[in-house]
Structure 1
């Protein structure tokens, strides 16, 4: 079977890495891909939201499965595009319908879904530019810190957590009237702050059945000790040590089952990943957010632990037979450390030559923001390369990742040296 992966980051390189290992995959294409995917697949310079160009490629290359990496094409309705086209509707698309993608595309939609299905989450209200004064009054009913979330997609950066009420009021105004996050903040969700430790749970569903994939914890802040600006993610550890069997059983009963059942009850066509961002408050899990695809960099720690043939799992999704799938997981810990460009997540330069990739051993290298220029691998994004390592003890796995990162070089390279500090 010929397979297409959409996207260009570390997540998509990881998908390509796993799919390329499957006997079920004949030819693998990645659009647009990066320098890492170029070595195991055919990169095609097509944007992930250029649906007509994707259709041409799929027909020309006789592609039978499309794995959607990022959220943008899902929110814009790529699954519906395939389903409604007689030339494409027999192709398996791993990713939910446009309606299902609203779980990530709109924070308000997600909160309403959570409340409808009695899934534990924080109290909230939504506001627009017209109701900004009511929003300020609502802030006064909450205690510090204050959580403001841009309703739409803001590439993982549209959430502010503020200690001071005056600052919270001013940022609310900034988001709603000055469009701090552009169209994403035309509506803002103000949420009760939940105090606890976070983790991510990943579910693959065919719309009826599901399998729960390994847990992970990612590190969003740029600075050590979780300080500074939010990023797309500086690293991840899988599994999460504190997610023991009884806690996982609560997550399954209180969150995973009602989510999958809720989608089915509402006739929402959902075949793909559900990423559930959770927080452990005391001994109880609560949902912070849904994403409708795998996380990045969590994918680079979670997928390498899956020993089952990934394409076979995706075939089960297409056939709605995930209940027949047997998931085998590597019991060891996987740790991913992300190297980033100097200045990220603010302004940074691209085109810096990367050396030392071929000297890395006993770890897996996943390219994120890279491309090939004049035969050399150069930086092409804020997050550049992820290094994933295994060990029975996540601390030793981290040491392996750090030791291998020391062999990598590009101008102004930065990475966090304190991952796992809170575990």
Structure 2
């Protein structure tokens, strides 16, 4: 069966790598892909927002499965488009329809859903430019830190944690009046800051049954010790030490099952991944956000731990047999470290030649994010450039391997965090 993956990052590289291992997967195409995905399939230079062009490609190359890694395509309704076409509706789409994708596409929609179905989350209010004065008054009485989020998609960068009133007002000005993220910040959600430690939980679901995937913890801040601006993600660890059976039971009972009941009540046709961003507050799970696809860089940490055939898992999704699927997981720790361009997440230069990949040990995985081939040379083409993932029997050993590999890969201005997993040491969990 031929598969088309939508996206161009390290997440899509990891999905292509994993699917290519299946005996049932004949050809893998990635649109548009990157220099790394080309090693596991064929890159297709297609505008992923042009659904007609994607439809033509799917017909021309006998695509039978569409795996949507990229959130914008889901929010724009790619699943609805394919299912609504007589020539495309036979294609198995991994990713929800537009109505379900709004769980990620709008923070306000997400918070309303959480509140309606009594799923634990932080208190919040939503404001627009028209209610800027009310938002400012609200912030005067708000506790600090305060979390201010752009309502729409902002590539993981639309969250500001304001430490005081002045910083919060500056953030409001930037988002609502200066339109820092365009239409994505035409509304903002202001919510209370939850004191705890984050964890990302993933399920694959048809809206009724689900398979629980390995959890991970990602690191969004650019600086060591979780300082500086938010990024798309600087690294990840899986499994997460504090996520024991008791905590996961609470997650299933208080978050996953109410979420599925809500999907059914809202008549959401949901068929794909649900990423549940949680805050562990004194052992209790609170939902920070939903994403309707796999996370990045979490994908690069969790897929290497899945021993089961990913293609067969997707077939179980579309055959409504997830309840019968037994996921086999590697018990070892996976550590992922992201290498980024100097200056990221703000201004950065592209086109820098990358070297040192030949020095990476064979048992360390390298997933490309922002790379391309230029006159026979591998060069950077984005802010986040390469993710390296190492597996080992302990977190310390996995991180040592991943950091050594990261150090071997180089280009002008290359930067990475050396402290991924710093807050998961046993001494911090007592």
Task: Please give the range of the TM-score, normalised by the shorter of the 2 chains.
Answer: over 0.9
Check conservation: 1:77, 1:97, Cα contact below 8 A: yes
Q: Is the 1:389–1:400 Cα contact (8 Å) retained in structure 2?
A: yes
Q: Which residue of 2 aligns with 1:239?
A: 239
Query: So what's the TM-score if we normalise by structure 1?
Result: 0.98
List runs of 5+ in structure 2 lacking aligned partners. 425-430
- The 3-state SS of whatever aligns with 2:65 is strand
How many corresponding residue pairs? Answer: 423
- Report the CA distance between 1:350 and its aligned residue: 1.1
Shift of 1:165: 0.9
Structure 2 counterpart of 1:339: 339
Question: Residue 32 of structure 1 aligns with which residue?
Answer: 32
Aligned-pair CA distance for 1:180: 2.4
Distance 1:269 1:338 in 2: 34
**Residue 157 of structure 1, CA deviation:** 0.8
Residue 372 of structure 1 aligns to a residue whose secondary structure is strand
Q: Distance in 1 between matches of 2:258 and 2:270?
A: 14
Q: C-alpha separation between the residues in 2 aligned to 1:161 and 1:283? A: 23
Distance 1:386 1:150, change over 3 A: same
2:427 maps to none
* Preserved CA contact (<8 Å) 1:220 1:230: yes
Residue 107 of structure 1 aligns with which residue?
107
Correspondence for 1:370: 371
Partners of 1:185 and 1:256 in 2: CA distance: 28
Aligned to 1:400: 401
Give the corresponding residue for 1:66: 66
- Counterpart in 2 of 1:142? 142
The residue number in structure 1 matching 2:182 is 182
1:91-114 deviation per Cα after TM superposition (whole angstroms, max 9, x unaligned): 101000001010010000000100
Q: Contact 1:207–1:320 (CA<8 Å) still a contact in 2? A: no
Measured against aligned partners, the alpha-carbon deviations of 1:67-93 in whole angstroms (never above 9, x if no partner) come to 001100000000000111010011101
RMSD value over aligned CA atoms? 1.0
Please list every run of 5 or more consecutive structure 1 residues that lacks an aligned counterpart in the other structure.
none
Residues 249-291 of structure 1: CA deviation (Å, up to 9, x unaligned):
1011100111122112211010001011100111101000111
Question: Is 2:376 aligned against 1:357?
Answer: no
Provide the residue aligned with 1:295 in structure 2. 295
Question: What is aligned with 1:417?
Answer: 418
Alpha-carbon distance change, 92 to 332 in structure 1, aligned in 2, over 3 angstroms:
same
3-state SS, counterpart of residue 260 of structure 2: helix
Q: CA deviation at 1:183?
A: 1.0
Contact kept in structure 2, 1:306 and 1:329, CA below 8 Å: yes
Q: Matches of residues 258-277 of structure 1 in structure 2 within 5 Å? A: 258-277=258-277
Give the deviation of 1:22 after TM superposition: 0.2
Q: Does 1:194 align with 2:214?
A: no
Task: For residue 222 of structure 2, give the secondary structure of its aligned residue in structure 1.
Answer: strand
Contact 1:235–1:335 under 8 Å retained in 2 = yes
| Structure 1 residue 41 corresponds to structure 2 residue 41 | yes
State how far apart, in whole Å, the 2-side matches of 1:337 and 1:211 are: 26
In the other structure, the counterpart of 1:156 is 156
Aligned partners of 1:206, 1:81: CA distance in 2, in Å?
18
